[in-house]
Structure 1
Amino acid sequence: MSAVTRRTAAVLAGRRVWLCDLDGTLVDSAPAHEAAFRAALAEVSPGLSGSFDYGAHTGASTRQVVEGLGVDPALAEGVIRRKQRLYRAYVLDGAVPVLPGAHRLLALLADRGHTAYLVTSGSRDSVTRVLEACALTGYFRGVLTADDVSCSKPDPDFYRRACDAWAVDPRGAVVLEDSAHGVASAVGAGLLTLQVHGAAPAAGAVPVRDLEEIVSLLGTDDMSDMEALDMEALDMEENPLG
């Protein structure tokens, strides 16, 4: 058992609000996003399409990615709209599966009286379609998308806007993220953050293997037998789990 013991479970169980990311956290959307980006870019700039690395942009909005690639501003809006249409078609074709443990975790949170909100860099239309396709719609009391705010992850204002919109006290909330962009936004807003499915640990977050590990942590009746998380990445003086 690692440094996180029963106190970790008590802290997480006591935090009544969960702010969840979507892409890469609850659904496996990266392949569909990458394919949509490559196809949209190929219609405008084959050179950009060939060198495009979606992994370097995970957690960012479509607009943020397109602008960051240096697409001609006169063409950027068309690329954004085309990418979104392609991605939504992939969603309808079933190319964006829900990740293992997502339904179990969200159902457990609801059963324990926790409130879940969705905080995502996706567009409203795309997010709505993913939630419907993956049967995730009913789990969230509210949804904040890139269409609702003027900033994007990793800007901490993204999560600050979410907390303001739903009157969430950061001291009573926990964030579930996967990407470095998302973690930076949440940690910068002063929120306790769990990072799942991360290729590399992001500064300030509690790394978690997968969603099933969180289910095990929250669902156990015997805290001494729970599977623990690795806390070495945290500043123990500031982190409430320390």
Structure 2
Amino acid sequence: MRTLALTAVLFDVDGTLVDSVDLHAQAWRETLAGFGIERDLAEIRARIGMGGDHLLPALVDQATLAAIGEATISAARGELFRADYLAQVRGFPGARELIMRLREDGYAVALATSAQSEELAALKQAAAIDDLIDDEITADDVTSSKPDPDIFTAAIDRLGLDDPHRAIVVGDSPWDALAAARARLACIGVRCGGFADADLRRVGVTQIYDDPTDLLAHYDELFG
């Protein structure tokens, strides 16, 4: 049993509730190539979960970013993703059932994602959870995205929690875990986004499950 009762669960979306990490990586690679910037897909994929404000400086040198404009590249990526990739996103099995169970048990549920707000409605529909969410924070709502803590601290504030230990994060990437730790939140990891257990454990994740269905199978030990 936990010494401080959980009252809220903060979910990452991409790679956690919906199968979209590879699609995001492909969209970023195609966008960068359109500006003459060639990057390996695996190098890009390893950074999915960051917002563009962190991903681009990690992949593109400062001089090139200054010449093209970070906002220009990010806008092009967003347009491409929405036009060519967003319709391919599918929800992971068990996502709706897990969140329904949490809601039935009285938990507040918020989405805390580095996705753009223009994409989130479609992502919620893909996971069939659009009618189950108490609040949502996107990269557009904060000045700095994951792995900075802003998205999670904003979610805590929106939910009116008096202590961050009353919430827990569920995420698939090291960037979720780092952001959670910086917001003084524990993070449950899931493998369905494709990140290695070792990468999650390296940033402090101790509980790792396969996907939303696996979380449901262990519901009582995690949330009971």
Larger radius of gyration: 1
Partner secondary structure for residue 22 of structure 1: coil
Q: Which residue of 1 aligns with 2:48?
A: 58
Runs of 4+ in 1 over 4 A off after TM superposition: none
Give the superposition deviation at 1:67: 2.9
- One-letter code aligned to 1:53: E
Q: Which residue of 2 aligns with 1:27?
A: 18
Distance (Å, rounded) in 2 between the aligned partners of 1:99 and 1:213: 11
Distance (Å, rounded) in 2 between the aligned partners of 1:124 and 1:157: 16
Give the superposition deviation at 1:188: 2.1
- One-letter code aligned to 2:137: L
Give the superposition deviation at 1:137: 1.3
The number of aligned residues is 210
Q: Which residue of 2 aligns with 1:107?
A: 100
Distance (Å, rounded) in 2 between the aligned partners of 1:99 and 1:137: 14
Give matches, 1:1-242, under 5 Å. 7=1, 11=2, 14-46=5-37, 48-50=38-40, 53-70=43-60, 71-75=64-68, 76-93=70-87, 95-168=88-161, 169-197=163-191, 198-200=195-197, 201-202=200-201, 203-205=203-205, 206-218=207-219
Distance (Å, rounded) in 2 between the aligned partners of 1:39 and 1:20: 28
- One-letter code aligned to 1:186: A
CA contact (8 A) 2:4 2:165 kept: no
| TM-score, with structure 1 as normaliser | 0.78
Give the superposition deviation at 1:89: 2.1
In the alignment, structure 2 segments of 5+ residues that lack a partner are: none
| TM-score, with structure 2 as normaliser | 0.84
In the alignment, structure 1 segments of 5+ residues that lack a partner are: 1-6, 221-227, 230-242
- One-letter code aligned to 2:80: L
CA RMSD, 1 decimal: 2.3
Distance (Å, rounded) in 1 between the aligned partners of 2:208 and 2:141: 29
Percent of aligned pairs with the same amino acid: 29
Give the superposition deviation at 1:59: 1.4
**In structure 2, do the counterparts of structure 1 residues 89 and 12 end up closer, same or farther at CA, with 3 Å as the change threshold?**
farther
